[in-house]
A and B are shown apart, each in its own frame.
Chain A
Amino acid sequence: EVQLVESGGGLVQPGRSLKLSCVASGFTFNNYWMTWIRQAPGKGLEWVASITNTGGSTYYPDSVKGRFTISRDNAKSTLYLQMNSLRSEDTATYYCTRPWYFDYWGQGVMVTVSS
């Protein structure tokens, strides 16, 4: 059974950092690109970052480029999202999923950026 389990969310002040994790199981992690999607409260879904299966390439929208870093540890079947210089508009539930398929999603982890 495929499972994606996110962790690391919480309340953080503007300008501070937070690192999210997503532990994968039930599939061969190093065969798949991975991505982070977020959803602000009461809003739609927004792509945040993607990484190739080897970790050799990463992709970001302009809204997070230079502040967020996606990475992975294939030995641990774990995806990460390092979020720096957080802003109030980064407040959202963050999900990990497999792009090109978007078939399995984690349960989501809430990040609240507020003073």
Chain B
Amino acid sequence: DIQMTQSPSSMSVSLGDTVTITCRASQDVGIYVNWFQQKPGKSPRRMIYRATNLADGVPSRFSGSRSGSDYSLTISSLESEDVADYHCLQYDEYPPTFGGGTKLELK
């Protein structure tokens, strides 16, 4: 199975920060990486699809990028509503596999 190594597992942030979360794929997954936001007690919400595409209704301060086997989610000018858990997912090959998650916490 393809491993998605997500870092950091948690992050202490301040409002207005630029935050970057990264997933490294254990083998080539092309563009088939999604990023999800999840708030306590809620379902995951797709934020980025196919590595770099902003999902419908997602603020433009969110962006996705790829450098080789590293995939990143960047949040510019963090707002309070962005404090949540974030997960990456590769779906290039079965089984689909998720990163371990990143928890953003306010300082």
Name A residues whose Cβ lies closer than 8 Å to a Cβ of B. Answer: 35, 44-47, 50, 59, 61, 95, 99-103, 105-108
Contact = CB atoms under 8 A, between A and B. Distances in A.
Given A44-B101, A45-B101, 16 more contacts: A44-B98, A44-B99, A44-B100, A45-B98, A47-B96, A47-B97, A50-B94, A95-B43, A101-B49, A102-B36, A103-B49, A105-B44, A105-B45, A106-B43, A107-B43, A108-B43
A47 B43 contact: no
Interface residues of B, number: 19
Contacts of B66: none
Interface of B: 34, 36, 43-46, 49, 55, 87, 89, 91, 94-101
Contacts of B43: 95, 105-108
Contacts, number: 43
